[in-house]
């Protein structure tokens, strides 16, 4: 149960880590925005903190997987966790930049997939600004990206000088959001500045695809339609909301779309709030409600509205609108890690929707929900969500049956290579483990998008224990094995590798056997104390040398391993060999020789004349 519980915990932890909605991952636990303002959600409720942020809009901030701040940005400057400007973050918008001011959701940060130390910063830059603030010009945004490497600057992070301020596109509106795809990828969704056209750029482990997926959808018309607009993605990644506030009372509208995270396509536009323009909308955690704060050009009134986007038709959704509050101005709404939606009202007021899944006024809207630290100010917007890649649907796994020999020093189990963060069923790490006992073992390895589990079912090999049998002076074994080695006094008997061994001298004998599976076993000691000279003589009588006379090959038949020495009649040794069963005399001159046969201990077993013939 312990192994199963740990495996279940590993699966659940890994799945939870990757499958959380992007708003409530710990990387989004700290927000930096406005003028020196910030919110920390690590305690479960937002706490006001002081940052070095200075801008009106276009924020993004990122924490690590434990919720501790890494860095934040307004799109043109990057601050580290110590609130110091990263040394290389100057001039992120290369000349001739008109303005560093980005749109309300004009900066996003996403990971460099496969490298946990690196991040992409995508920034919108207004390329035409001169009289835009007075309503007589347009701000056509250009899209850039820069890579931030957290291994630089002593671990505080800095801009990768090789991948800094790389231009992606131009002619865009001021809004941008990121959403994870279905296949270890992330979509960066942008919008054309004056056409009903979405552009979705794909980030994969191979980098950024510069060719966007283009979707034509939407029906807002009028001056600066889509140029000043804000987008949000629903937590389930299936809906996209866009609010365009144009100029004056034209070019405004609130639209709802379908989004396909598998393809990056935006479709099925519904104009659910004609004439409504304002801040960035926000979806409820259960995806059923949409909140939008803005100005309705028909009544020229500001309001915070709720729509039921779980309904199936444009008319039904539009008719479901409920006014939650009537503030004096419209600003940002954003879903937070605590599951609540926060609403900026003025420069020192943040309101809260405590129960955003509930319909109408049951959503529990509270004004001035967060006390503001003196000297800090909010502006138009909160930071954009950080997005991490989502795992593939498939969890790879394999199961291998294998065997370990009893008494073995160890069996090495190796996980599938190419993964990281290996963890075994006993909590140990690394991709290799040595085991000596039977059982079921598993190891899980993960990448940023995949989990693989290898299971090893290890059983004992069935080795038949070896027992020595005795037949006179011949030792054998009770069972048959693939290989044998006999020992006397713990020392190897040279050449004694047959199933039987004839004892010639007294001593303590053992045999080590190997079965067909490669497993070994050693016998108990069998002591021999009754060997006498006649026994050796008997062994000598069993030795046969043939053929004799011979011309070339001579064979030796003996009950034990033997050594051979061939000498001339003058006593000169002409041939010698150990553990001999045959030898070649074809190179010797014709004549008579003496052949001596001894056992492994040098005891003479047989001596006779050997005649070499001429063919």
Residue 375 is assigned to a structural domain of this protein: no
Q: Are residues 176 and 269 in the same domain?
A: yes
Torsion of CA 66, 109, 388, 83, to 10 degrees: 0
pLDDT at 124: 85
3-class DSSP assignment, residue 277:
strand
pLDDT at 537: 58
Residue 378 is assigned to a structural domain of this protein: no
pLDDT at 7: 43
pLDDT at 21: 74
How far apart (Å, rounded) are the C-alpha atoms in residues 503 and 511?
Answer: 13
Q: Are residues 328 and 443 in the same domain?
A: no
Of 97, 156, 100, the residue nearest 123 (C-alpha): 100
Q: Are residues 472 and 456 in the same domain?
A: no
- Of 512, 528, 544, the residue that ends a domain is 528
How far apart (Å, rounded) are the C-alpha atoms in residues 512 and 521?
Answer: 6
CATH of the domain at 165: 2.130.10
Residue 600 is assigned to a structural domain of this protein: yes
Q: Are residues 448 and 484 in the same domain?
A: no
- Of 528, 552, 578, the residue that ends a domain is 528
- Of 528, 545, 579, the residue that ends a domain is 528
Q: Are residues 169 and 234 in the same domain?
A: yes
Query: Which contacts of 464-467 are long-range, i.e. CB under 8 A and separated by 24 or more positions?
Result: 464/515, 464/521, 465/521, 466/511, 466/512, 466/513, 466/521, 466/522, 466/523, 467/523, 467/524
3-class DSSP assignment, residue 361:
helix
Prior bond of 549 cis (ω within 30°)? yes
Which tokens hold the place of 440? 């079921």
Contact 279, 243 (CB under 8 A): yes
For the chain, helix (H) and strand (E) counts, in that order, are: 3, 49
Residue 373 is assigned to a structural domain of this protein: no
Contact 554, 543 (CB under 8 A): no
Which tokens hold the place of 294? 């803005």
Q: Going by C-beta distance under 8 Å and a sequence separation of 6 or more, which residues neighbour residue 207?
A: none
Q: Are residues 72 and 7 in the same domain?
A: yes
Residue 285 is assigned to a structural domain of this protein: yes
3-class DSSP assignment, residue 2:
helix
Contact 307, 317 (CB under 8 A): yes
CATH of the domain at 582: 2.60.40.10
Q: Are residues 409 and 513 in the same domain?
A: no
Contact 93, 78 (CB under 8 A): no
Q: Are residues 497 and 539 in the same domain?
A: no
* Beta-strand pair 213-216/229-233: unpaired
Residue 384 is assigned to a structural domain of this protein: no
pLDDT at 142: 85
pLDDT at 458: 82
pLDDT at 532: 61
Q: 588 burial class (0-12, 13-18, 19+ CB within 10 angstroms)?
A: middle
Q: Are residues 258 and 338 in the same domain?
A: yes
Range of the domain at 414: 396-460
Any bridge partners for residue 166, and if so which?
A: 145
Any bridge partners for residue 191, and if so which?
A: 198
How far apart (Å, rounded) are the C-alpha atoms in residues 104 and 56?
Answer: 8
Prior bond of 547 cis (ω within 30°)? yes
Q: Count of domains in the chain? A: 4
pLDDT at 280: 85
Residue 326 is assigned to a structural domain of this protein: yes
DSSP line for 22-81:
GGGSGGGSEEEETEEEEEE-TTSS-EEEEEEEE-SS--EEEE-TTS-EEEEE-SS-EEET
Q: What is the pTM of this model?
A: 0.68
| Alpha-carbon 564 to chain mean position | 66
Q: Are residues 164 and 257 in the same domain?
A: yes
Which tokens hold the place of 109? 């940060």
Q: In this predicted model, what pLDDT tens digit does every residue of 518-554 receive, in sequence order?
A: 888 889 999 988 766 555 556 677 788 899 999 999 9
Residue 558 is assigned to a structural domain of this protein: yes
Q: Are residues 519 and 599 in the same domain?
A: no
How far apart (Å, rounded) are the C-alpha atoms in residues 466 and 463?
Answer: 9
pLDDT at 156: 97
How far apart (Å, rounded) are the C-alpha atoms in residues 263 and 182?
Answer: 9
Q: Are residues 455 and 515 in the same domain?
A: no
Q: In this predicted model, what pLDDT tens digit does every residue of 271-313 receive, in sequence order?
A: 998 877 777 899 999 999 999 988 776 666 788 999 999 999 9
Q: Which residues of the chain have pLDDT under 70?
A: 1-20, 94-105, 126-140, 246-250, 297-300, 328-330, 391-398, 406-409, 448, 531-539
Helix (H) or strand (E) holding 541: helix 533-541
DSSP line for 300-360:
TEEEEEEEETTSSSHHHHHHT-EEEE--SS---EEE-TTS-EEEE-SSS-EEEES-TTS-G
DSSP line for 364-377:
-EESS-SPPPTT-B
Q: Going by C-beta distance under 8 Å and a sequence separation of 6 or more, which residues neighbour residue 265?
A: 200, 213, 215, 259
* Phi and psi, residue 12, nearest 5°: -65, -45
Contact 302, 326 (CB under 8 A): yes
Tell me 383's DSSP state.
P
How far apart (Å, rounded) are the C-alpha atoms in residues 174 and 540?
Answer: 105
């Amino acid at each position: 149960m312990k192994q199963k519980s740990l495996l279940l915990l590993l699966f659940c932890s890994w799945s939870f880590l990757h499958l959380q909605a992007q708003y409530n991952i710990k990387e989004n636990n700290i927000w930096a925005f406005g003028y020196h303002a910030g919110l920390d959600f690590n305690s479960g409720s937002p706490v006001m903190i002081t940052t070095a942020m200075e801008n009106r809009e276009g924020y993004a901030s990122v924490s690590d997987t434990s919720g501790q701040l890494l860095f934040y940005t307004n799109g043109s400057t990057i601050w580290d966790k110590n609130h110091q400007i990263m040394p290389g973050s100057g001039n992120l918008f290369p000349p001739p930049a008109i303005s560093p001011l980005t749109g309300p959701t004009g900066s996003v940060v996403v990971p460099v997939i496969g490298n946990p130390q690196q991040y992409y910063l995508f920034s919108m830059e207004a390329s035409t600004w001169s009289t835009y603030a007075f309503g007589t010009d347009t701000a056509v945004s250009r899209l850039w990206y820069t890579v931030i490497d957290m291994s630089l600057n002593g671990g505080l992070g800095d801009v990768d000088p090789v991948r800094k301020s790389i231009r992606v596109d131009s002619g865009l509106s001021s809004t941008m959001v990121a959403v994870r795809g279905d296949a270890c990828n992330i979509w960066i969704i942008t919008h054309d500045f004056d056409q009903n056209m979405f552009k979705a750029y794909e980030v994969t482990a191979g980098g950024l695809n510069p060719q966007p997926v283009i979707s034509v959808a939407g029906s807002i018309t009028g001056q600066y339609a889509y140029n000043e607009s804000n987008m949000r993605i629903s937590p389930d990644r299936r809906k996209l909301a866009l609010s365009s506030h144009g100029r004056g009372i034209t070019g405004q509208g609130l639209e709802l779309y379908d989004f396909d995270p598998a393809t990056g396509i935006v479709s099925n536009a519904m104009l659910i709030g004609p004439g409504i323009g304002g801040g960035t909308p926000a979806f409820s955690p259960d995806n059923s409600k949409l909140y939008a704060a803005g100005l309705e050009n028909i009544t020229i009134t500001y309001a915070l509205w709720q729509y039921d986007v779980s309904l199936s038709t444009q008319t039904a959704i539009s008719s479901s609108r409920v006014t939650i509050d009537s503030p004096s101005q419209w600003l940002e709404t954003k879903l937070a890690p605590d599951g609540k939606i926060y609403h900026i009202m003025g420069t020192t007021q943040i309101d809260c929707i405590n129960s955003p899944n509930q319909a109408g006024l049951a959503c529990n809207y509270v004004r001035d929900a967060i006390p503001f630290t003196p000297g800090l100010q909010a502006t138009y917007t909160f930071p954009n969500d950080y997005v991490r890649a989502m795992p593939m649907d498939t969890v790879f796994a394999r199961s291998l049956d294998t065997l370990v020999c009893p008494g073995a020093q160890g069996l090495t189990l190796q996980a599938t290579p190419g993964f990281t963060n290996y963890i075994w069923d006993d909590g140990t790490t690394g991709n290799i483990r040595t085991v000596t006992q039977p059982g079921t073992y598993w190891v899980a390895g993960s990448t940023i998008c995949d989990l693989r589990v290898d299971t090893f079912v290890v059983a004992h090999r069935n080795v038949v224990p070896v027992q020595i049998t005795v037949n006179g002076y011949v030792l054998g074994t009770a069972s048959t094995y693939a290989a044998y080695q006999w020992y006397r006094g713990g020392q190897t008997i040279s050449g004694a590798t047959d199933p039987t061994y004839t004892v010639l001298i007294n001593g303590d004998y053992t045999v080590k056997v190997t079965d067909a599976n490669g497993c070994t076993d050693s016998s108990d000691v069998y002591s021999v104390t009754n060997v006498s000279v006649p026994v050796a003589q008997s062994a000598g009588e069993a030795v046969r040398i043939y053929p004799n006379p011979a011309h070339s090959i001579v064979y030796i038949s003996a009950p034990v391993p033997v050594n051979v020495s061939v000498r001339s009649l003058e006593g000169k040794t002409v041939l010698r060999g150990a553990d001999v069963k045959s030898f070649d005399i074809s190179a010797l001159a014709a004549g008579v020789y003496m052949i001596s046969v001894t056992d492994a201990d040098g005891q003479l077993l047989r001596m006779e004349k050997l005649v070499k013939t001429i063919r």
